[in-house]
Amino acid sequence: MAVPHLIRRGVSGGSPLHPLRGLLFASQEFGQRSLSSETGDAAAQLKGAREEVKQLLKATSCHPILVRLGWHDSGTYDKNITEWPKCGGANGSLRFEIELKHGANAGLVNALKLIQPIKDKYSGVTYADLFQLSSATAIEEAGGPKIPMVYGRVDVAAPEQCPPEGRLPAAGPPSPAEHLREVFYRMGLNDKEIVALSGAHTLGRARPERSGWGKPETKYTKNGPGAPGGQSWTSQWLKFDNSYFKDVKERRDEDLLVLPTDAVLFEDSSFKFYAEKYAVDQDAFFSDYAEAHAKLSNLGAKFDPPKGFSLN
């Protein structure tokens, strides 16, 4: 996304992939189970999964790709389609090969592989919930705000229920502001939320072999952590803060990435109001980001129980 171009970030650690076919078969088997009808049992499983995600983050520094995973599952939502799951959104469809092969999802099979053991251990947790849990936990563990999450999302059951390709943002469209609004307005998000969510670029790197953007490596990425290389938006690309807005505004470091959809945040008058604010007020950014992230994570979701439930 530009959701954030977390859209095209690579994994920052983890073991080599097992064959994709075996992974996808496991995904389909477990993905057809929904949460226990007893909220207490479901919450206990989710809490266990959250602790496992925290350990995974410590071991692999995979924060960026887990954020991207959650965003790309929910970011296919179309507010103009009322039927579930045709509307897209946070429904676990990204576990299927057909959607993983969408151009904007390059490399996300790595994220699925990382969290599959957690899914296997806590089989009562849906993929839709696990994707969003992992994304929010990654933000929080990187030093970001606590996201007011709700759980109980239901998974789609088959690859035929995946959304069509082309609903996720591009990194370098001809008219960046127009493109961002077209994509995010379709999801029901506004200009403030577009800018706040763009701030998640404070995490991660772009890899030219996957996205066509960024340098092969920089002084900030040549030694990892995780697989070395790529170009980051910020110098401390595993720390969630407001550095992204400061760095995009100043553009003083050629080793830091600025995409057309980043630069336009300080060029478009409506976007600029929020970008300037976040560059000097991290508390305001954190508050608006947490609200926008939570909203994004609920797009298109069907909940069981109908209003979902929260974790402590």
Catalytic residues: 72
Here the tokens at position 236 are: 């401390």
**Cα–Cα distance, 151 to 133 (Å, whole number):** 8
Using CB atoms within 10 Å of the CB of residue 171, give its burial: 0 to 12 exposed, 13 to 18 middle, 19+ buried: buried
Here the tokens at position 282 are: 């991290």
The CA–CA distances, whole Å, from 8 to 170, 225, 275 equal: 9, 18, 22
Neighbours of 39 (CB within 10 A): 15
Q: What is the DSSP letter of 144?
A: -
Q: What is the DSSP letter of 78?
A: -
Angle between helices 191-198 and 269-280 (to 10 degrees): 50
Tell me the three state secondary structure of residue 309.
strand
**Cα–Cα distance, 75 to 71 (Å, whole number):** 6
